[in-house]
Structure 1
Amino acid sequence: MAKDNSGYRPAGTHLLLDFWGATGLDDAIGIDQALREAADACGATLLDVRLHEFGGEGGVTGVALLAESHISIHTWPETGYAALDVFVCGGCDPRDAIAPLKRRFNPTDIKITAVARGSEPLLSAESCIAS
């Protein structure tokens, strides 16, 4: 990854995905498959998938651990909302994970926020400690 104009080399791109009107948010087996498909789609090396079901009308929280970082999900089936993170580094492109996630959860509305992780700090560590 190229250096930005500050001289810092970003570690990777972190996508924050907000899905509204989504389905399948209480289906742990489907969520497991979605995380695996998303990891494969962006060219990441899958290390493990860990999920927790909250039971009843609760949702699922989980993470796909990747050699290149992670894909995580937190679901609220009662409102049709899912919060997903796709953070990868190296030659992986997190945008390639979006299509399989959209196919699996079929959201009616999506918000995508991209963050370059590891780019120029706004505050030094010393100024944060002094605050």
Structure 2
Amino acid sequence: MNGLHLTADLAGCANDALLTDGSGLARAVRAAAEAAGLSVVGEHWHRFPDAPDGQPGGITGMLLLAESHVALHTWPEIASVTLDVYVCNYEGDNSDKARALMAALAALFEPADARHHALVRGQLGAGAL
């Protein structure tokens, strides 16, 4: 059940159109997951309403993967995105696929600054479950 959990906080995103385009973002994330060799089994996306001052609302969404999930949240008011990619390595090591997906997603937004983190999960002994 071990796996790799990657997160990224992106700031100064030059591709600001993608921060508010729900259908375009959903297509791009799905295409990136499939290109990385991961299996999309479901998805859900939500675009938040525009603010009273007319500032466009952000998007939160996720892909359910056979290998686990991808989640993201856009913050158009501050040109930022948070990304979350988690893959399980039950039947094979999907770590390279997770890294490829994270790199593709981060590149989509063209951030001026990106903070990446990785956590190896599920390192439990055989008797722990």
| TM superposition score category, shorter chain reference | 0.7 to 0.9
Offset, 1:19? 0.8
Distance in 2, matches of 1:100 and 1:84, equals: 11
User: Percent same amino acid among aligned pairs?
Assistant: 40
Offset, 1:21? 1.1
Q: Which runs of 5+ in 2 are unaligned?
A: 51-55
What aligned pairs does 1:21-40 form with structure 2 within 5 A after superposition? 21-22=12-13, 23=16, 24-40=18-34
Distance in 2, matches of 1:102 and 1:75, equals: 12
User: Residue 17 of structure 1 is aligned with which of 8, 11, 17?
Assistant: 8
Partner amino acid for 1:37? A
Q: Which runs of 5+ in 1 are unaligned?
A: 1-9, 122-131
Partner amino acid for 1:87? Y
User: Residue 111 of structure 2 is aligned with which of 107, 111, 117?
Assistant: 107
TM-score, length of structure 1 as denominator length = 0.77
CA RMSD for the aligned pairs? Answer: 1.9
Instruction: Give the secondary-structure state (helix, strand or coil) at the position aligned to 1:73.
Output: strand
Match of 2:65 in 1: 66
Deviates more, 1:30-39 or 1:52-61: 30-39
Greater Rg, structure 1 or structure 2? 1
Match of 1:4 in 2: none
Distance in 1, matches of 2:31 and 2:103, equals: 10
Q: Please say if residues 70 and 84 of structure 2, whose CA atoms lie closer than 8 Å, have aligned partners that are also in contact.
A: yes
Q: Please say if residues 6 and 102 of structure 2, whose CA atoms lie closer than 8 Å, have aligned partners that are also in contact.
A: no
Question: What CA deviation, in whole Å up to 9, does each residue of 1:24-44 have, x standing for no partner?
Answer: 211112210222123113321
Deviates more, 1:53-62 or 1:98-107: 98-107
